[in-house]
Structures are given as structure tokens and as C-alpha cells.
Amino acid sequence: MVTRSPYEENTGTMEAKFQVSDQDWSPFANEPLPPRRPSPGPMGRPPSPTPGRASVPVPNAAPAPAAADPDRTTALRPPGLAKKSLVPEPDGTAILPVIPAAETPAPPGADSEARKKRSVKRHRSDGGLRTTVRGLGETLITLGAIVLLYAGYEVFGVSEQINNEQETLSGDLDTIWDGTVEEEGVDGAPVPELGDAFARMWAPDIRAESWTLVEGTEPADIEYAPGRYLDGAYPGEQGNFTLAGHNVPAIFSEIRSLEPGDKVVIETKENFYIYEVQEHEVVNETQIDITAPVPGEPGVEPGDEDYWLTLFTCHPRWDNYERYVVYSQLVDTIERDPAGDLPDAAIDAEA
């Protein structure tokens, strides 16, 4: 008879209690348990076999990756790429690392509401002023362009139109002089009607061509030619032969360049009347005594030397609140030959 100690009896009893089959405790006892995979080692690699232990093959286990080639360069990937998505993050493909800007402490009072309001107001004011100045500059440039265009039209456009009309008036004058005279007016020519041509004027010091003169000083009469003041004398007569002309280059704007001693020649059907410039002056627009028989002396009867030619136009050049006046006196009379040449005083500024 074998005698067991209390310890051995107890041990045997415990082993008997816990020696149960898989079918005794689990409804899935007949199903094989899934194979356990070894926990990955560092860097996701399988654990290295422990020296002294035999490697036990694991059913259905994935094949172990090949050992890394130490001579091969592995591309760096941003951390967490495999966990989230195959699409790189915003900075995932950056060549250089993103360095956050150094935080500079704001000056004292930077967060003040009053300072923010002043800054916004200052910026708004600068923008409004800049816009105003830009708009004013564009307006001035536009006005300048308009003035230049107007000046060009006055110099070239109006002058061309006046010169064309002057040629027409000159042809009309030749026709009048060649026609029959029913009532003699100026040196064998008929009495002119308002707007009709009656003579020519030459002033070689300021113009190479002649002007054809018309009767009357109304705007419709002197639109394209100098006109005779109706209450004045005719060419060569005693008194004051007065001519008014527009302040444009093609008519009378250049009479300002006439100097004492310069000659002005009036051509009629029968004579050339040569006048010599005496003086010039600027008067008020209401000063009408320049047209008196003796200029500047209204009510005085003309004497033996009072054979005057008075030219006047608006003044200054681009306005009309004054009058520029040139006074000349008759110094010679030359009989006109229709087939002859002009006198030297009509074509030579030095005569």
C-alpha cells in the first residue's frame, strides 16, 4: 500500500478539477482556434528568433519581408501617411521643412479699438484723396486736349475756310469791276450792298496775300472778310476809313505786328491808296470814338491831313473785352492799271 502525502493528494485533486476538454466549456469547441501572429517588433518588422529557441511555423502567416538592402536609399514619408490616406497632406511633399514664423510681440496698445479706428480712417482718407487727385488730373488732361484741338481748329480749320471764301469774294469783285455801272459808288464801281465786295487790302509786313473787303460790320457781313464801318469814309476819302475784322489768323489777329512806318495798300477799281502806319493802342470795347472822322476826337471836322485808315479787332487774342486799334494815314495815291503790276508797297515789306 502506497501512502500519499496530503500535498500530493491535494495536487492530484486540483489537476483533476481543471483537466477538462475543449468541449466541456465552449460552444465553439469543435472549431479550431485562429493562429496567433507574433507581435511586430520595432519599425514594423517581425521579431527576431530568440537564440536557443526553435522557430515554430505559424499556419496561414504572411511571408516575412526580405531583409533591407543597406545600399538602397528608402524614400522618406511623412509620419502618419499610412494611417490616414494615400493623398499627401499639405506639407507632406514639401522639399524644405515648414518653419513657423517667429512671433513678434505686438507694440503696446496695438489692440486698442481707438487705434484700429484711426488706422482704418487714415487708409480710407488716403484712398479718397488719391482717387480725387487722379480724377482731377484726368480732367485737366482732357481739358488740355480740348483746348489744343480748338486752337488747332482756329489756326488751320477756320483759316482754311476763310481763305476759300476769300477766293470766292475776290472772283466776285473782279466780276463787279468788269460789269456795267448803273450807279457809281467807289472810284467808278457800283455802290456796294451789305456783304458785297468793294475793294482789296494789302499789308505785306504781316501777310503775303490780299484781303477782299466787304460792306458792313455786322457778324454776317464780316464772317469771312474785314468789313467797312458804314458811317466812315471810303478809301481815299477825307475822314476816317474804318475796317473791322475778326481776331483770327486769317483776318486781323496779326495787325498787332504792324509797326509805325509799315505800309497798308487799298486797291479799288481805279486806284491804289497807300497808307502808312502811325500808331496803335488798346481801348475799351465801348470806346467808339476810334471811328470818328478824326480818330479819338468825336465832333471835330476833318482837316486837310485827316485821311485816316483805322483797323481794329478784338483783344486780347483769345478774348474780346477790349479792342486793338491801328491808325494809318494816306501818304500816296497810284492810278491802277488793270493789266499792270501791283505797286511795290503792296508786295514788298521794305518799300
Q: Mean pLDDT per segment of 10 residues, for the chain of length 351 residues?
A: 50 47 46 53 50 50 54 53 51 53 62 61 62 88 85 75 95 93 86 95 96 96 96 96 95 96 97 98 94 95 96 92 97 94 92 77
Residue count of the chain: 351
CB 91 within 8 A of CB 76: no
CATH number of 168-347: 2.40.260.10
As given in the structure block, the three cell numbers for residue 220 are 454776317
Its pTM stands at: 0.60
As given in the structure block, the three cell numbers for residue 59 are 499556419
Q: What is the pLDDT of residue 128?
A: 73
